[in-house]
Amino acid sequence: MKKLLITIALLTGFLANAQDVDRSKLLRDIETLSSDKYAGRKTGTDGNNAAAEYISGRFKETGLRSFQDKFRHPFSFKNRKSEPINGTNLIGFVKGKTDDVIVISAHYDHVGVNNSQIYNGADDNASGVSVLLGIAEYFKDHKPRNTLLFIAFDAEEMGLQGAYAFIKEPLPSRNSIILNVNMDMVSHNDKSELYASGTYKTPVLKEIIKGADENTGINILFGHDIPGSGKDDWTMQSDQGPFAKENIPFIYFGVEDHDDYHKPTDIFANINQDFFHSASIAILRSIIKLDKDLNKIKANTADSLKTK
């Protein structure tokens, strides 16, 4: 009996420390955010605002701390027609043992309704936001070494406006931000491939996250980040772009374009659920590794700036 109790205790401890994302909550979040209720989440619409309410509610539920009421950080910009648009970034954080910051991000807006068809944006990017929420929940129970800033960006589809607004007035401060981990389209791939872009400029990132996909059933591939490669370079194609412009190292997790990209068929029913959950685990494990070795990234960045 004593051996059995010890075994149970060890198993309980192992499960408590398992590097995993709750599958049921992950799927519930993506299904909810990509439902017709939010009408494609276009910035400045009622559907987008309702999505922000849902996400801020989940931020509170996961135990994230806030800088402002209901995690909301409003900003404004002008669209291509010079019309004023109001957007809202949602920002929460988990305080670490250091003041160094890893920004973990995903945009929650999409393109709304066109010709009476709702563009639900399940993969783009209800998927990234859902993983962000799952990761936040993990770190609620597993204190990180460094401070983790969780940001659901708005107006990515209108030119990365939310990310640019944040970079203009970063929290807690520009100097404290060591790394950005951005997620955009992480639920729809038939080849079990998830790309981690950003290691070309900062090779130490590849060294750190190597093996994070072990026993997940998916493969983390590297690439889509070589300067001069045109559309094949994803650096400026999502919210990591403004960070890259500030010489902040980044990893952008995403899949290659698929048949449902920016179409009304990008719905919950068309994601790959097993791939999505596996990708969320691989991303979580990558962040755990990055949090552990952030000083390596910090030193590498300082050395790079010295040589310029």
Q: Does 12 fall in a domain?
A: no
Residue 101: strand pairing partners: 147, 177
Write down the pLDDT at residue 308.
53
Dihedral (CA of 128, 20, 28, 68) sign: negative
Q: Has residue 126 been placed in a domain?
A: yes
Is position 298 within any domain? yes
Is 13 a domain residue?
no
What the block records as the tokens of 293 is 């070795």
Provide the pLDDT for residue 9: 41
Cβ atoms of residues 107 and 162 within 8 Å: yes
Give the domain CATH number at 266.
Answer: 3.40.630.10
Sorted by sequence, the CB contacts under 8 Å of residue 154 that are 6+ apart come out as: 43, 48, 52, 75, 87, 88, 89, 90, 107, 108, 109, 161, 162
Tally of structural domains, the chain = 1
Domain assignment present for 5:
no
Is 6 inside any structural domain?
no
The amino acid present at 11, given as its one-letter code, is L
Q: Specify if 15 maps to a domain.
A: no
| Residue 3, SS3 per DSSP | helix
Domain annotation covers residue 89: yes
Reading the chain (308 residues) residue by residue, the pLDDT tens digits are: 445 444 444 443 333 347 899 999 999 999 999 999 999 999 999 999 999 999 999 999 999 999 999 999 999 999 889 999 999 999 999 999 999 999 999 999 999 999 999 999 999 999 999 999 999 999 999 999 999 999 999 999 999 999 999 999 999 999 999 999 999 999 999 999 999 999 999 999 999 999 999 999 999 999 999 999 999 999 999 999 999 999 999 999 999 999 999 999 999 999 999 999 999 999 999 999 999 999 999 998 876 665 55
| Confidence (pTM) | 0.93
> What range does the domain containing 107 cover?
20-306
* 200: exposed, middle or buried (Cβ count in 10 Å: 0-12, 13-18, 19+): middle
